[in-house]
């Protein structure tokens, strides 16, 4: 498993409440994860997140 601080600034895939989000990982805190999506910012509550991985495609 890759540490989250290594993923900052990289394209990631976040699964939260059975929804897949893709974007550039901008910030990780105790409360939320923030992604820069295509044309929008995405903020996801950490208690909803199942996984965060590097987006391979």
- Look at the chain and count its residues: 57
Determine contact, residues 45/52, Cβ cutoff 8 Å: no
CA distance 18 to 1: 20
Domain count, the chain: 1
Model pLDDT, residue 27: 96
Query: Which range of residues forms the domain containing residue 25?
Result: 4-54
pLDDT digits (tens, 9 = 90+) for 12-51: 999 999 999 999 999 999 999 999 999 999 999 999 999 9
pTM of this prediction? 0.91
Q: Which residues partner with 53 through β-bridges?
A: 13
Determine contact, residues 25/33, Cβ cutoff 8 Å: yes
CATH number for the domain harbouring residue 45? 2.30.30.100
Q: Is the pLDDT of residue 1 over 80?
A: no
Sheet of strand 11-16: strand arrangement: 40-45, 32-37, 19-28, 11-16, 49-54
Reported as a pLDDT band with limits 50, 70 and 90, residue 2 is: confident
């Amino acid at each position: 498993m890759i540490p989250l601080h290594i993923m900052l600034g990289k394209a990631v895939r976040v699964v939260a409440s059975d929804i897949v989000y893709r974007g550039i990982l901008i910030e990780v805190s105790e409360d939320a994860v923030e992604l820069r999506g295509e044309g929008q910012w995405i903020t996801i509550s950490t208690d909803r997140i199942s996984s965060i991985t590097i987006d391979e495609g």
